[in-house]
Structure 1
Amino acid sequence: MSPRVEQSLSQLLHEALVSLRTLGKRSILALLGIVIGSSSVVALINIGHNAAVDAAMIFKDMGTDTLVVQFPPKGNSNVPMRTHLDLDAVRQAVPGIAHIGALTLFSGPVVFHGRSANANVVGITPDIKDAMRLVVQDGRFLSSFDANETYAVIGEQLAQRLGTPGDALKVGERVRINDYLFVVVGLLQPQPRAMLMPVQANESLFLPADGMRRIYATPQIGNVIIRAAPDQDMEHIATQAAAALNAQLTDHEVGITVPQQMIDGMTRQSRTFAYLLLALGAISLIGGGVGVMNVMLMNVSERRREIGIRMALGARQRDIRNLFLLEAVTLTAVGALCGAVLGMTAAWLYAWLSGWAFALAVAALPLGIGSTLFVGLFFGIYPAVSASRLQPVEALRDE
């Protein structure tokens, strides 16, 4: 770029800033409109992004390689669900399954040293530990050799509710469910909350499935949890598993929840939500752009004589146009930067109040600042072109 051009741009920018400063309150009001519009775009894009991230986190800890199977009755059938399923046959029919286990659910009080707490009592097959990603903190988990034993594994929150600082629930202690005492052989580590799981491990007590008859006369399988091997097509696994389980059932259907499908659906909904928020921000931004155009038209009207003098001294139409266009863009650029800072602050504050982990949307700043500059340029064109088309003689006649 030549020194002459650099000097011209520097001079134009200086004159633009001087002109905007002389506008006083009108310039500040137009700037405020741009700041509000720009901050709305930046904040709403980030809020939509954080909402999508928070929704996806609901399923992250469960894992997209996990399937939850339910068994709703067919039609109006009142036949109870079976107490056993041949899970080994399902595993053989579907080679992509890494772990598969069944759950039998019961809810009732658990008593330890006179202290009682309502809990989910879950009858399980041994492979449920790996299928649900359960981690033992102390002791061990239930195995196939414990089928007829009165053993139990307890979740972290339930253990804390039953214990006290001076009388903690430890491995080897006994808890009572109905009229039976169960020996605690394992305590679980705190488990992440998985929304799709039929039970929350932290608040549950796990027993061998065969031992559920001690506390519940007619135990029924409520769910089957399937964890696939790495790099498997989960929809294909779900279809094959449903076929294998249907072959064992006559009065119940097989419904399988695929987390990835739910994540994809929530992502689409979040994207639609983000577009709606972006549209609201754009409306606010357009309002700010109209304010810029109004200020620039008034600026042109008040400076007609100045324009006439510039043209009489040799200024070309494009020089006049560029001067007023640069004023509009300068005003918009200041508003865009201030709005970006305000918008990010508002988005962070909203995430903090909502209990979300704040994550910056990649497109927020470029789209917010870029759209604001475009609006300023668009709404500044008409006043700039109007100023450049004034006739010098007519402009000089204005007092």
Structure 2
Amino acid sequence: MSLKVEQSASQLLHEAFVSLRTLGKRSILALLGIVIGSSSVVALINIGHNAAEDAAAIFQDMGTDTLAVQFPDTSGARTPMPAALDLATLYKALPNLLHIAPVALFSGPVVFQGRTTNANLVGSTAALNDAMRLQLQQGRFLSEFDAAETYAVVGAQVAQTLSQPHDPLRLGDRIRINDYLFQVIGILQPQPAAVLIPVQTNESLFVPLEGMRRISSSAQISNLIARAAPSQDMNQLATALGDALKKQLPGRGVEVQIPQKIIDGMTRQSRTFGYLLMALGGISLVGGGVGVMNVMLMNVSERRREIGIRMALGARRRDIRNLFLLEAVTLTAVGALSGAVLGMSAAYLYARVSGWQFSLASASLPLGIGSTLLIGLFFGLYPAISASRLQPVEALRDE
């Protein structure tokens, strides 16, 4: 019995391929529509997935355990910020914060061997190194013993701009900022762009916080960057940090930003964006399904006499229905597999051109191939039922 069923299934599949081959160009055109629809679904799902991962990577590189604080003036009286904060009190009140780094920002020209470039001048403490996860290419970062020294750590882009092939910027060289010479004690590796943190590392030059007074007499703290211990409730910690800072800064607002909130928001936005792309791919797929139904209806119309002969020889209605339904599904399956390969290739090329790291969306292939087969089954059902409802006598009269 099992062998008979297998022979019957293989015979139906063989007849389906023979019938589709006899359709010629019409079958190819319908197949092309299915391929385009299936590839659109697979490609758009993967493009949306890689776009979301690339956007989230900016914040993931910074770390979800990082807090960035701003101090807007809420009093309206332009209350100045202090030149320093009581960090010992903050560490005591917030033991779950491992690193707390106040930041003073300024911008201006820096000069080395007659070469000048504009740089972001960042005054901070030794804690900024761990708070921002900075990576050194040469030398060391600022230490707690460098407060009174004219030391500087140079970002990768600034170092490259000030260097020449025969005269690179080296450790121990002195860079002039205004009327002061700052000795280079470290050169940073290129760092990914930080969106939440106002410090663009590659274009910055880091000096001790106290040294900012040499650069600008009005230098004051503008931001604070902190890093928490692992497995902390970041929302609760952000609230506690804000309350502690408000006690030290009366008349100033305190805004604590958490990367995880932004990542969660971007994830929701990316999910919505992914649904939109899936809908666009689905529309293309429906167009391909209409092409399949059109081809199958013409196939039924041209094979009315064959259907009548099959029924006269004992074929049941469900046999006729299954035959034409199998032809539609076979055509769709070939298009689904071809479209999946084409869609994956298109998504990979798009990611490479966009400079993204390509990763396969786990749902793309099941959704792309599965939805294509369902579309073929749905649009092939009506022609198959129409063929099974033909009356043998009327079908045999067709020439």
TM-score normalised by length of structure 2: 0.97
Quick one: which amino acid aligns to residue 204 of structure 2? S
What is the distance in 2 between the residues matched to 1:95 and 1:199? 25
Matched, 1:288 2:293: no
Shift, 1:191, TM fit:
2.5
What is the distance in 1 between the residues matched to 2:136 and 2:303? 79
What is the distance in 2 between the residues matched to 1:173 and 1:255? 39
What is the distance in 1 between the residues matched to 2:35 and 2:376? 12
Q: How many residues align?
A: 399
User: What is residue 358 of structure 2 aligned with on the other side?
Assistant: 358
Task: Give 5+ residue unaligned stretches, structure 1.
Answer: none
**Structure 2 counterparts to residues 156-171 of structure 1, below 5 A:** 156-171=156-171
User: What is residue 342 of structure 2 aligned with on the other side?
Assistant: 342
Quick one: which amino acid aligns to residue 369 of structure 1? I
Quick one: which amino acid aligns to residue 60 of structure 1? Q
User: What is residue 394 of structure 2 aligned with on the other side?
Assistant: 394
Quick one: which amino acid aligns to residue 244 of structure 1? A
**Structure 2 counterparts to residues 312-391 of structure 1, below 5 A:** 312-391=312-391
Quick one: which amino acid aligns to residue 373 of structure 2? L
User: What is residue 65 of structure 1 aligned with on the other side?
Assistant: 65
User: What is residue 257 of structure 1 aligned with on the other side?
Assistant: 257
Shift, 1:75, TM fit:
5.1
- Encode CA deviations 1:94-150: one digit per residue, 9 max, x unaligned: 221011111111100111111111111111122111111123333332222221222
User: What is residue 194 of structure 2 aligned with on the other side?
Assistant: 194
User: What is residue 179 of structure 2 aligned with on the other side?
Assistant: 179
Quick one: which amino acid aligns to residue 351 of structure 1? A
Shift, 1:77, TM fit:
3.3
What is the distance in 2 between the residues matched to 1:48 and 1:135? 31
Shift, 1:241, TM fit:
0.5
Shift, 1:165, TM fit:
2.1
What is the distance in 2 between the residues matched to 1:350 and 1:10? 40
What is the distance in 1 between the residues matched to 2:200 and 2:210? 21
Deviates more, 1:220-229 or 1:203-212: 203-212
User: What is residue 74 of structure 1 aligned with on the other side?
Assistant: 74
What secondary structure does 2:62 align onto?
A: coil
Contact 2:12/2:323 (CA < 8 Å) preserved in 1? yes
Shift, 1:22, TM fit:
1.0
User: What is residue 95 of structure 1 aligned with on the other side?
Assistant: 95
- Encode CA deviations 1:62-103: one digit per residue, 9 max, x unaligned: 111111111111053322222211122122112210111111
User: What is residue 29 of structure 1 aligned with on the other side?
Assistant: 29
Shift, 1:159, TM fit:
1.6
Contact 2:58/2:192 (CA < 8 Å) preserved in 1? no
What is the distance in 1 between the residues matched to 2:346 and 2:189? 37
Quick one: which amino acid aligns to residue 70 of structure 2? Q
Note the aligned Cα RMSD (angstroms): 1.3
User: What is residue 247 of structure 2 aligned with on the other side?
Assistant: 247
Task: Give 5+ residue unaligned stretches, structure 2.
Answer: none
Deviates more, 1:36-45 or 1:140-149: 140-149
What is the distance in 2 between the residues matched to 1:79 and 1:32? 68
- Encode CA deviations 1:42-75: one digit per residue, 9 max, x unaligned: 1111111111111111112111111111111105
What secondary structure does 1:145 align onto?
A: coil
What is the distance in 2 between the residues matched to 1:246 and 1:240? 10
- Encode CA deviations 1:200-222: one digit per residue, 9 max, x unaligned: 22221111111111110111101
Quick one: which amino acid aligns to residue 291 of structure 2? G
**Structure 2 counterparts to residues 210-249 of structure 1, below 5 A:** 210-249=210-249
What is the distance in 1 between the residues matched to 2:21 and 2:180? 85
User: What is residue 16 of structure 1 aligned with on the other side?
Assistant: 16
What is the distance in 2 between the residues matched to 1:71 and 1:276? 38
Contact 2:103/2:222 (CA < 8 Å) preserved in 1? yes
Shift, 1:194, TM fit:
2.2
What is the distance in 2 between the residues matched to 1:187 and 1:29? 61
